[in-house]
Each structure stands twice: as structure tokens, then as C-alpha cells.
Amino acid sequence: MSAPYYRDDLVTLYHGDCLEETAWLAADVLVMDPPYGMGYESNFNRIKGTQKVGRPVAGDKTIDARDRSLIAWGDRPALVFGRWDVARPAATRHRLIWDKGNSVGMGDLSMPWGHAEEEIYVLGKGFIGKRESNVIRAQMLMSGDHARPDHPTPKPIGLMEVLISKCPAGVVADPFAGSGSTLIAARNLGRQAIGVELEERYCEIIAKRLSQQAFDFEAIA
């Protein structure tokens, strides 16, 4: 196992493949936003004149990375982001809906409707808190918003805080750390977290966000 890319009192981040950098497997609850297996390629913030330069999501051709990670995790509690048109994890016990508010999201641009929601699959047991709706509304940060990190699919920190607040006690794992929202949310809630990110450019973004010491508080409607 390599040395951490970033570490503070609560958060440890590793750069690499999560099936090789396995420190996250020692955590207590898994909260991850893995590649959806849809071959997603974003044009976010990559316009050069009239030429748009696509930015693919690493490992997004299949759901292999998601499923292999879940096999390694076992039957412990987990929250896993996904899409309606991609097979959900076999051990799914419940489904949450992230309502993105005014966003029309990604999807088939030939359709006159966009996707204003994503699914979050609940696996394992031990979740806590009062019984509430499975629909969680949190405005997605839009392209061009100065607060949006330079990542194609960043999750709102407020959304991640709501999710983590329902998780069992202990260390939070995110083996697909992306823009770092799960790690920041866990720290905001005073919880330890372990993250792994495959792409170094996103490790840099995560480390910068965590180092700023300024917590984001994005509204939940």
C-alpha cells in the first residue's frame, strides 16, 4: 500500500486503484459514487472556441469496477449511486432518489426531457435515524457555477451529509472519491473517512478542497 496522497485529523486519501489501495476496506460504512457503466463523456468546462473536448469518466464502459468493489466490501452497510437504466447491485435492499431540483442532468440529448434524478441503492443493515421519505432534494451545482469543482459529476456536499447522517457509526469509505464530496461531508459531520481516487487530477482537487478548511453548506430543500 502506498503512502496517503492527503491526510488530516479525520480524512485519509489514497491515489490509485481501489482494488489495490485497499485501506478503505477497514472502514465501517461504504458511501460511493462508482462509474455507472454508461460510457459517460462530459463536455463540462472544456469548450475551446467552437470545439468541445469531451472528458470521459475512467472505467465507465462497464459496471465491473462497482461490482468488484462490492464483492470486496461484502455484506456490510453501503450506499451506492446509480442510474435507472443500469442494473442495480444484486444485494440492493432499498432505493433512494436524489432529486436534483432544476437540473436536467445527463442523458439522451435527442429527448425533450432530461434526467432530474439519480438513484442511490441501500445495501446491508444498520442505518439509523427517523423514518423519512426516500426522495432527497439537493440542487445540483450547474456548469459555470464558480463553486462547482472541476469534475464532470460532483455530488452536492449537503446531499452527502444527509446520507451519511443516516449511516451507522464509524469510519466512512469512498473508493471512488471523485471531487471529494463524500470525504468533505464526513469531515463536516466529525467522522473519519478513507477515500481512494484513480485519477491524480481529481486527487489534486480533493486535497485542495480539504486543505481550504472552509466547509461548504449546500442547502437541502
Kindly report the number of other CB atoms within 10 A of residue 106's CB atom: 18
Q: Among 23, 8, 14, which residue's Cα sits nearest to residue 210?
A: 8
Instruction: Please give the backbone phi and psi of residue 64, each rounded to the nearest 5 degrees, phi first.
Output: -60, -45
What pLDDT is attached to residue 142?
59
- Look up the CATH architecture of domain 6-211: 3-Layer(aba) Sandwich (3.40)
The pTM for the full model equals 0.84
**Rounded Cα distance, 17 and 129, in Å:** 33
pLDDT one digit per residue (tens) for the chain, 221 residues? 799 999 999 999 999 999 999 999 999 999 999 997 645 445 444 444 444 444 555 555 689 999 999 999 999 999 999 999 999 999 999 999 999 987 766 667 788 888 889 999 999 999 999 999 999 999 887 555 566 777 788 899 999 999 999 999 999 999 999 999 999 999 999 999 999 999 999 999 999 999 986 444 443 43
HSE at residue 104, side-chain half, CA atoms within 13 A, is 7
Q: Where are the domains of the chain?
A: 6-211
pLDDT at residue 153 in the model: 80
| pLDDT at position 115 | 82
